[in-house]
Amino acid sequence: EHLSDQHNMAFVALLFAPAVATAAGRQVATFDFGWRHRLGLHAEGPPTVNPWPLPNNTSPGNSPPEAAPTYADGTWDQVVLPHDGLVATGPSNISCPSGCSGRSYIPRSVMWYRKTFQLPPSWAEELADNRSGLDTTSIWLEFDGVFRATSIYLNGEVLAQNAQGYLGFQVPLTSGRARSLLRATESNVLALFVDPDTGAGFSPSRRSGWWYEGGGIY
């Protein structure tokens, strides 16, 4: 399939996006399917302890093992976007004796998402031309939103961070550091670390809001 004159392309994580959609000058492929998910920073915490365990430092760093292409995520849950990683655990009056956020009795936790993907062949060909000096192709990720503080990794290296849980955002894959990390003809691994509460400065019973804010990709 030929690209239009503008030669702009995007991977998009959107609600109800079709598998492949073509608009003027733009090709779109949904990223809603094929994700793996796990709660916890470097180990999943049990949902039935009091209080719910939170790491002293919720920063995964620039090259955490969970973001590496070789990391074994076969035991992680298989999920489809949109996804709330906190609701999936269910309520617990053991780990949330005072109700937690919004009196939902749903424990708060940091979490990971991973997805392995390959570029469509036509995109890979355009990307090869792009790296030969013909800057006619742009590939980027577009999210409707991720709640809340998010670090985005490509093939083990951090690409971007976003702290606005109620706003959509884009992550370029053919400019800056991503340009050298994106594999045109091999598998790529995208990893997202999500902290619903933007760090460790909140008490387990209150966290960041007095209503249930959720946590995940939507």
Which 3 state secondary structure label does DSSP give 151? strand
Global pTM reads 0.83
pLDDT tens, position by position, 47-80:
555 555 555 667 898 999 999 999 999 999 999 9
- In degrees rounded to 5, what are phi and psi of residue 11? -90, 135
Lowest mean pLDDT, pick from 5-9, 57-61, 127-131: 5-9
pLDDT at 186 over 80: yes
Instruction: Identify the pLDDT of residue 122.
Output: 84
pLDDT digits (tens, 9 = 90+) for 99-109: 777 788 888 78
Token code pair at residue 73: 């995520």
Model confidence at 160: pLDDT above 90 = yes
Kindly state the helix (H) or strand (E) to which residue 11 belongs, with its residue range.
strand 8-13
Q: Estimate to the nearest angstrom the gap between the alpha carbon of 73 and the chain centroid.
A: 15
Sign of the alpha-carbon torsion through 145, 5, 29, 157: negative
Between β-strands 8-13 and 138-143, what pairing exists: parallel, antiparallel or unpaired? Answer: parallel
The answer for residues whose C-beta is within 8 angstroms of residue 62's C-beta and 6 or more apart is 157, 158
Instruction: Give the confidence band of 36 by pLDDT, cuts at 50, 70, 90.
Output: very high
At residue 59, what is the residue type? Answer: S
pLDDT band, residue 124 (cuts 50/70/90): confident
**Confidence class for position 208, pLDDT limits 50, 70, 90:** low
Mean pLDDT of 118-137: 76
Higher pLDDT pick, 124 / 8? 124
Cα separation, 95 vs 47, in Å, equals 7
Mean pLDDT of 20-31: 64
- Specify the pLDDT at position 34: 96
Residue 114 in contact with residue 191, Cβ under 8 Å?
yes
Report the C-alpha gap between 102 and 20 in whole angstroms: 38
